[in-house]
Amino acid sequence: MMTNLADKAVYKARRDRLFEKLPEGSVVLLVGNREQVRNKNITYPFRQDHDFYYLTGYAEPDAVAVLRPNCDQPFILFNQPKDEYQEVWFAGRTGQEGAVALYGADAAYDIAELESRLPTLFGERPYVFYSDELGRFNHRIFDWLACQRKSAKFDEVKSFKHLMNVLPRTQNMRRVKDEHEIGLLRKAVEASVSGHRYLMRLCQPGQTEQALTGEFFNHVSQFGCSDVGYPTIMAAGNNACCLHYSENRDVLQNGQMLLVDAGGDYQYYTADITRTYPVNGKFTPEQRDIYQLVLASLDAAIETVKPGVSWNSMYPAAMSVLAQGLLDLDILSGSFDQVMEQALYKPFTLHKTGHWLGLDVHDVGAYHDDNGNWVTLEPNMVFTIEPGLYFPEHSKSVDPRWRGMGVRLEDDILVTPSGYENLSVGAPRSIGDIESLMAK
| Average pLDDT over every residue of 22-27 | 96
Per-residue pLDDT tens for 236-257?
Answer: 999 999 999 999 999 999 999 9
**How far is C-alpha 69 from the chain's CA centre?**
29
The better pLDDT of the pair 440, 20 is held by 20
Nearest to 405 by CA among 422, 388, 383: 388
Write out pLDDT tens, residues 257-276: 999 999 999 999 999 999 99
- Band the pLDDT of 4: cuts 50, 70, 90: low
The pTM for the full model equals 0.95
The mean per-residue pLDDT over the stretch 107-128 comes to 95
Q: For residue 208, list its beta bridge partners.
A: 251
Those residues with Cβ within 8 angstroms of residue 63's Cβ, 6 or more apart along the chain or in another chain: 32, 52, 56, 77, 78, 79, 80, 111
Q: How confident is the model at residue 149 (pLDDT cuts 50, 70, 90)?
A: confident
**Number of Cβ within a 10 Å radius of residue 161:** 21
Q: What percent of the chain has pLDDT over 70?
A: 98
| pLDDT score for 185 | 98
Query: Of 87 and 21, which is predicted with more confidence?
Result: 21
Q: How far apart are CA 313 and CA 304, in angstroms?
A: 7
Residue 139 pLDDT more than 90?
Answer: yes
For residue 163, the cross-strand partners are: 128
Whether the CB-CB separation of 125 and 159 falls below 8 Å is answered with yes
Of 85 and 404, which is predicted with more confidence? 404
Strand 411-415, strand 382-385: pairing: antiparallel
pLDDT reported for residue 248: 95
Answer whether residue 283 shows pLDDT above 60: yes
pLDDT in the model for residue 111: 98
Q: Which of 35-49, 67-81, 332-346 has the lowest mean pLDDT?
A: 35-49
pLDDT > 60? residue 67 = yes
Q: Rounded CA gap, 423 and 409, in Å?
A: 14
- Among 1-15, 35-49, 197-211, 358-372, which is the least confidently predicted range? 1-15
pLDDT at residue number 45: 92
Decide if pLDDT at 5 tops 70. no
Which range, of 20-34, 84-98, 285-299, 394-408, averages the lowest pLDDT? 84-98
> What's the mean per-residue pLDDT of the chain?
95
CB atoms inside a 10 Å sphere around CB 292: 15
Identify the CA nearest to 21 among candidates 75, 73, 67.
67
**pLDDT interval class at 405 (50, 70, 90):** very high
Q: Which CATH architecture has domain 179-439?
A: Alpha-Beta Complex (3.90)
First to last CA, the chain: 39
Give yes or no for residue 153 having a pLDDT over 90.
no
Query: Chain-centre distance of CA 29, in angstroms?
Result: 23
The pairing of strands 227-228 and 264-266 is antiparallel
- Provide the residue count of the chain: 440
Q: What is the mean pLDDT of residues 427-435?
A: 98
Residue 114 pLDDT exceeds 70 = yes
Per-residue pLDDT averaged across 87-99, rounded?
91
Q: Taking 70 as the threshold, does the pLDDT of residue 47 lie above it? A: yes
Q: Answer yes or no: is pLDDT of 158 > 90.
A: no
- The whole-number pLDDT of residue 159 equals 80
Q: Show me where the domains of the chain are located.
A: 5-173, 179-439
Containing H/E element for 102?
Answer: helix 95-103
Q: How many CB atoms lie within 10 A of CB 268?
A: 22
DSSP state of 401: G
Q: What is the pLDDT of residue 138?
A: 94
Question: What is the pLDDT at residue 326?
Answer: 98
What pLDDT is attached to residue 87?
A: 85
Fold classification of 5-173 is Creatine Amidinohydrolase; Chain A, domain 1 (3.40.350)
pLDDT at 148: 73
pLDDT value for 243: 95
**Strands 75-79 and 107-110: what pairing?**
parallel
